[in-house]
């Protein structure tokens, strides 16, 4: 399995995913809104919007192990 990279993050922009972090935790059902670059720390961040919320959060790409794509049609149909 490949690690989570900048190119992988670009392919998931605008989609709802579960983010699996390297420390073993999972951030469920977030939409990847954008990619930010911090010039001083030379680090890339992904901005995420949790489902049903308007606030954003930033997560370093280095801390993300992989992302699992969600199918919202299945989630919304069963609810």
Domain membership flag for residue 1:
no
* Average pLDDT score over residue span 46-75: 88
Number of domains in the chain: 1
Residue with tokens 């992302």: 67
CB 61 within 8 A of CB 46: yes
Domain membership flag for residue 44:
yes
pLDDT band at 10 (very low <50, low <70, confident <90, very high): very high
Residue with tokens 């997560």: 59
State yes or no: pLDDT of 63 exceeds 60.
yes
Tens of pLDDT, residues 24-57:
999 999 999 999 998 888 899 999 999 888 899 9
State the CATH number of the domain containing residue 51.
2.30.30.100
State yes or no: pLDDT of 79 exceeds 60.
no
What range does the domain containing 23 cover?
A: 6-78
In our burial notation (b when 16+ CB lie closer than 10 A, e otherwise), range 51-73 reads eeeeeeeebebeebeebeebeee
Q: What is the model's pTM?
A: 0.83
């Amino acid at each position: 399995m490949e690690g989570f990279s900048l190119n992988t993050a670009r392919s998931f922009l605008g989609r709802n995913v579960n983010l699996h972090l390297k420390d073993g935790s999972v951030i469920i059902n977030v939409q990847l809104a954008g990619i930010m670059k911090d010039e001083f720390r030379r680090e890339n961040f992904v901005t995420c919007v949790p489902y049903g919320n308007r606030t954003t959060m930033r997560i370093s790409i280095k801390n993300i192990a992989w992302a699992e794509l969600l199918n919202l049609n299945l989630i919304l149909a069963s609810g």
